[in-house]
Amino acid sequence: MLKAFEAELTVTETAIVEDTVAVCVSGDEILGFCRLVVDGEEGEVADCFVSPCALRQGVGAALMTHLKDAARAAGVKRLEVQSDPYAEKFYLTMGYTRFSQSPSGSVPGRCLPLLEMMV
């Protein structure tokens, strides 16, 4: 099943160089990362992943706070994220609101919540 998501969830070297990326580490272990894509006053949370061993420990919240600050510094007025359905509650807790949904690029028939936040 994970193979179905591989292309959609692969972060390229170009994306890491061109976009804003934040990584949370503990020792030599990556606990999570997020990536911000800026297009004028619009920003997209292109990736946000937290290791299962670090869930509910504030890693995601710290990454989102950093990303929001970076977006604001870049002149972004609105952030958007296409969320996994299981992560929607996290984004709502972080202050995002749902405005739509879109079909998954990996799983036919699956819809992904679209959320936004004004920064």
User: Would you say 98 and 92 are in contact if contact means Cβ atoms under 8 Å apart?
Assistant: yes
Calculate mean pLDDT across residues 60-84: 96
User: Would you say 63 and 45 are in contact if contact means Cβ atoms under 8 Å apart?
Assistant: no
Q: 2-118 sits in which CATH class?
A: alpha beta
Q: What is the pLDDT of residue 104?
A: 77
Q: Residue 99 carries which side chain, given as an amino acid letter?
A: F
Q: What is the pLDDT of residue 15?
A: 65
Q: From CA 2, how far away is CA 79, in angstroms rounded?
A: 27
Q: Each residue of 18-58: pLDDT tens digit?
A: 788 999 999 999 999 999 999 999 999 998 999 999 999 99
Whether residue 1 is predicted with pLDDT greater than 60 in this model: the reply is no
> What residue spans define the domains of the chain?
2-118
